[in-house]
Structure formats: structure tokens, C-alpha cells
């Protein structure tokens, strides 16, 4: 083509121009299609991003287990922390559930408690190099202790400090056993990360027996059962008639660090004086 250039300059120029214009337009269309258009591998994500802000998504399964914690009711007794530590045989100095005293901006005292929030877009799940932690179909974020390599990236990534590492082989006596419950799961081995499971060891067998988590005690997380003031409500957020759905409908609630878009399954009713 370049050899002919001097002879038929005008024609070739036009052809060149058309070629360039067509190529540019073509690539623009293709780029548009594959980046944001229907051919894009990210189109689903993008749609989720656009719609997710309006309505909370639920996991694909039949149930979506969730919890509401009423900060207005919590009296800071730490019973939830103790029952949790006993039932799940958690090291007392590395609790899965924490209770801390806080003050609102107006100076009112309130107690803040936190299990794992079971985020639907969990940062810890995204970063795990071996998929040792994942979001189940019912929304519970769970650990595979047999797969974890102990790199602790999930601990670094969790915005809520909800993950604990087993720095040593545990030989301690659990001070909360048997006063606050008896261990229902094995201790985790040295070198893996552990976390709150929403007591899935109670939920899974209970469902087979036809019990309803959130209503029957043996199907409900220990921290919810033990709360003396009923500050915690547990249940299926997919079921519009469940306790938790009613509580969510009737109260103003918030998710922790909503701006991160993790879509936690734990909702909080703020103290009445405001935060």
C-alpha cells in the first residue's frame, strides 16, 4: 500500500481515512460492548452495584439467617460473650462476641456488642487465597478449618475485627464451662483462623428436624438465647413472617460500615438518644 502512495494519493487518503475512522468506531463499539455493554463480563456486577444500593440482596438459598441487636436494650452484662465462649469453646481472651461500653455524641452511655456480621460481600472471603472461608447459601460466613493455611489475610481484611487466629495449641481450661454452657464444637487446631458461625452446628441439624431457628431454643445461637433483656433477635430474613422480619420492619435499623458495601446480615437498632 505504501508503495502505491505517490501515484494515487487522493484515493488512498480517503480510503485510509475511512479505514481509520471505521477501525476507531469499530473498536469504540467493541470496547463499549465488552467493558460496560451487554458483552461485558462485569455487567452482572455492575447491575448488582446499581440495584444493590436500593434493595438489599439476599443469598441464593432458601433462608437468609440474620440478627438484629437492639443497642437500646443492651445492658452490657456480657452474658452473650460468655455463653458463646462456652458453647463454641472459644479462648476467653479472644472472644468471638465482644461487648464494649460506648458513648453517643451527646454523652449518653450505651453498650455495643458484636458477633461476626456475616457480610454478604465479605472482604475476608474475597481475600482468602485458598477459599477456606466462604458465604454459604443461607448467608452464613463460615471457615473450613481443614483448608485454612493460616496466612491471616482475612484477619487483616475484616473491617470488624471479627476473626481470631489460633496462635498456639490450646491447653487452657475454659472458665465459662460449665456455668454458661458446654462445648458443642471441637476446639480449633493451632495455626488456623476462627470466627463466629451463627452457631451453624445448631441450625443445620435443627432444620432437618423441622425446627425453626429463632423460635426454638435448640436451633438458635447461644448468644441470642442467653440474653436476659432480649436485645438480640435471630431468624430468617427471607421469611416475611419471621420475628426478625417484623423487627426489621418496625424499627429503624443500621448496618455497620454500610458505606463499604459489605451488606452485613447483622442489623443494629441504635440507642434512642441517637449516636
Closer of 118 and 163 to another protein (Cβ): 163
Closer of 92 and 270 to another protein (Cβ): 270
Measured over all CA atoms, what is the biggest interatomic distance in the chain, rounded to whole angstroms?
A: 99
Q: How far apart are CA 104 and CA 11, in angstroms?
A: 77
- For 80, which DSSP code? H
Q: Give the pairing type, strands 65-70 and 266-269.
A: parallel
CB of 16 to another protein, least distance (A): 31
Q: Hey, is 24 helix, strand or coil?
A: helix
Q: By C-alpha distance, which of 94, 97, 160 is closest to 124?
A: 160
**10 Å Cβ neighbour count for 103?**
12
CB of 160 to another protein, least distance (A): 5
Cell numbers representing residue 50 in the block: 446499581
Q: By C-alpha distance, which of 111, 153, 106 is closest to 129?
A: 153
Q: How far is CA 212 from CA 22, 58, 115, 256, 264, in A?
A: 63, 19, 21, 27, 22
CB of 36 to another protein, least distance (A): 19
Closer of 159 and 183 to another protein (Cβ): 159
CB of 111 to another protein, least distance (A): 10
CB of 32 to another protein, least distance (A): 23
Closer of 62 and 102 to another protein (Cβ): 102
Cell numbers representing residue 15 in the block: 480510503
Closer of 92 and 150 to another protein (Cβ): 150
Closer of 98 and 185 to another protein (Cβ): 98
CB of 236 to another protein, least distance (A): 25
Q: By C-alpha distance, which of 107, 93, 118, 101 is closest to 196?
A: 118
CB of 257 to another protein, least distance (A): 5
Closer of 189 and 211 to another protein (Cβ): 189
| Residues that bind another protein in the complex, under the rule CB under 8 A | 71, 94, 100, 102-105, 112, 114, 123, 126-132, 147-153, 155-161, 163-169, 190-193, 254, 256-257, 260, 268, 270, 275
- Sign of torsion over alpha carbons 229, 231, 233, 234: negative
Amino acid at each position: 500500500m505504501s508503495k502505491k502512495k505517490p501515484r494515487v494519493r487522493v484515493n488512498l487518503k480517503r480510503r485510509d481515512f475511512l479505514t481509520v475512522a471505521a477501525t476507531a468506531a469499530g473498536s469504540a463499539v467493541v470496547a463499549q460492548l465488552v467493558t460496560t455493554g451487554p458483552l461485558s463480563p462485569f455487567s452482572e456486577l455492575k447491575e448488582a452495584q446499581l440495584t444493590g444500593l436500593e434493595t438489599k440482596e439476599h443469598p441464593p438459598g432458601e433462608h437468609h439467617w440474620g440478627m438484629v441487636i437492639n443497642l437500646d436494650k443492651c445492658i452490657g452484662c456480657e452474658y452473650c460473650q460468655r455463653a458463646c465462649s462456652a458453647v463454641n469453646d472459644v479462648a476467653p481472651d479472644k472472644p468471638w462476641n465482644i461487648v464494649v461500653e460506648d458513648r453517643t455524641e451527646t454523652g449518653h452511655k450505651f453498650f455495643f456488642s458484636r458477633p461476626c456480621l456475616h457480610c454478604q460481600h465479605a472482604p475476608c472471603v474475597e481475600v482468602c487465597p485458598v477459599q477456606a472461608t466462604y458465604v454459604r447459601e443461607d448467608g452464613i460466613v463460615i471457615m473450613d478449618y481443614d483448608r485454612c493455611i493460616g496466612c491471616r489475610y482475612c484477619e487483616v481484611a475484616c473491617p470488624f475485627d471479627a476473626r481470631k487466629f489460633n496462635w498456639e495449641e490450646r491447653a487452657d481450661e475454659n472458665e465459662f464451662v460449665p456455668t454458661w454452657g458446654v462445648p458443642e464444637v471441637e476446639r480449633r487446631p493451632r495455626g488456623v483462623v476462627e470466627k463466629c458461625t451463627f452457631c451453624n452446628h445448631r441450625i443445620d441439624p435443627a432444620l432437618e428436624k423441622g425446627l425453626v431457628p429463632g423460635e426454638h431454643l435448640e436451633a438458635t445461637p447461644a448468644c441470642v438465647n442467653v440474653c436476659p433483656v432480649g436485645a438480640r433477635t435471630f431468624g430468617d430474613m427471607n421469611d416475611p413472617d419471621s420475628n426478625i422480619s417484623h423487627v426489621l420492619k418496625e424499627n429503624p435499623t443500621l448496618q455497620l460500615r454500610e458505606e463499604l458495601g459489605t451488606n452485613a446480615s447483622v442489623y443494629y437498632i441504635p440507642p434512642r438518644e441517637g449516636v
